[in-house]
Amino acid sequence: MVYLTRVVYNARHLTLFKLAGLSMQTVQHIFEQNKTPKPLVAAINAVLDASKEIAFLLQKGAMGGVLGCADQENVQGETQKKLDVISNDLLKDTLKACPEVAGIASEEEDFPVPANKDGEFLVIFDPLDGSSNIDINVTVGTIFSILPSNGGDGSDEKTYLQSGRNQLAAGYVLYGPSTLLVMTTGQGVDIFTMDPTTKEFVLTDCQSKITPSTQEFAINMSNQRFWAKPMQNYVADLLQGEEGKLGKRYNMRWIAAMVAEVHRIISRGGIFMYPWDNRDPSKPGKLRLMYEGNPMSMLVEQAGGLSSNGDIAIMDIQPEKIHQRVPVILGSKEEVETALSYQ
C-alpha cells in the first residue's frame, strides 16, 4: 500500500515538473550542462554527501539522541550544540577523504585543518547555521564556500585569507520542511530540492533572481540601542511605513538563522541586516566573513542583489582572520541602496 502510494505520488510529481516546464534534472546533470570542472564537482559532492547525513539526523530529531548541548564551546566562546559538533565532524571527515580538497576551515574548528597535499581547493563552512533553532525544530542550514588552494598548505591560515571574489563555488543546504540546495559556481543561482526517496538533489528553480524592490526587512530589533546612528535612522524610517520618507509600509521577519533569511530573500526579495553594534568592540557585527558573509554575498550578487558591510561590497573585503566578523546588509538591490544611502 505504501509502495503504491509512492508510485502514484511519484507519477504526479513528474507530471507537475513537466507542467512547470522543468525536466527532472539532478544537480549532477546541471554540473555537466554548466561544464563545471570535475575536481570542483568532487569537492561540492563531498559537501552534499555530508549534508544528506545531516538532513537524516535532523529528521530523526529527538529519536536520534542528537538534540541538546555538547558541553563544550567553540573558538568564539559559543556553546556548541551536539548537532554542531556532529555536523562539523561529518563534513570534516567527508572532505578530508576527498583528494581534491587541500584543507578545510569551519566555524567549529579553532584552526584550519589540512586534508590532501595536492588538493586544488579549500572548503570553508558553517556546518549548522542557526543552531539555536535545532531544539525547537525550526530551519537550519549548512553554508559552504570553495576557494582555490593555489598550491598552498591547507594548514596555513594565510592561504585561506582570500577575498570573496576568489570563490569558485558557494551555497547552502537548507534543512526545512524540505531539504534544499541553493548553489552558484558563478553562473547564476540554482535551487534544488532533495527528493526524499532517492536522496538526489533535483532542479526545482533555475537562475533565481532577487526582486529589486521589497517591503520586507529582517533585523534583530532587540539590538536597536547598540546600532550606529545611521542604521537607527534607516530602521526608524522603515517603521514609519507609508507615513515616513520611504513612503511604503514594511513587514518584518526574524528567523535567527541567516541561511533561512537569505533563502526567503532569494525566494521573494527583502533586506537582511546584522549591522555593526557597540556591544563588544572586538566584534564588529555578529556574523563571520569567511563562512557566512562571503558565500551568502556570492549567492546574493549572482541573483542580482547587493551585499555590503555598510561601506564596501562584502566580497571586496581582504580577510585578516578565519573567524573574522563582519557587519552585513544584503538583499534586494534598491532597498540595500536605500539602506546604504543612510550610512
Instruction: State the residues that interact with ligand AFP by CB under 6 A.
Output: 78, 129-132, 220, 256-258, 274, 286-287
Q: Cβ of residue 72: shortest distance to ligand AFP, in angstroms? A: 14
Q: Helix or strand or coil: residue 193?
A: strand
Based on CB atoms, which residue is closest to ligand AFP, 121 or 234?
A: 234
Q: Write down the least CB distance from residue 37 to ligand AFP, Å.
A: 30
Write down the least CB distance from residue 78 to ligand AFP, Å. Answer: 6
Q: Least separation, in Å, of the C-beta of 193 and ligand AFP?
A: 22
Give the nearer residue to ligand AFP in terms of CB position, either 58 or 258. 258
Distances (CA, A) of 177 to 58, 59, 260, 272, 309: 11, 10, 12, 22, 31
| CB 43 to ligand AFP: min, Å | 23
Toward ligand AFP, which CB reaches closer, 229 or 279?
279
Which residue in the shown chain puts its C-beta closest to ligand AFP?
258
> What is the nearest approach in angstroms of ligand AFP to the Cβ of residue 183?
18
Shortest distance, CB of residue 251 to ligand AFP, whole angstroms? 18
Helix (H) or strand (E) holding 43: helix 38-60
Residues contacting residue 177 through CB under 8 Å, at least 6 positions apart = none
Structure-block grid coordinates of residue 262: 537569505
The dihedral built from the CA positions of residue 159, 165, 169 and 172, taken in this order, carries a sign that is positive
Which CB, 258 or 303, lies closer to ligand AFP?
258
Strand order in the sheet with 190-194: 113-114, 101-106, 121-129, 140-148, 169-175, 179-184, 190-194, 201-205
Name which of 92 and 325 has its Cβ closer to ligand AFP. 325
By the 8 A CB rule, do 27 and 192 touch?
yes
Query: Phi/psi at 173 (nearest 5 deg)?
Result: -110, 120
The Cα–Cα gap between 27 and 17 comes to: 15
How would you classify residue 256: left for phi > 0, otherwise alpha for psi between -120 and 50, otherwise beta? left
Q: How far apart are CA 173 and CA 147, in angstroms?
A: 18
Q: Closest CB to ligand AFP among 261 and 335? A: 261
CB of 159 or CB of 308, closer to ligand AFP: 308
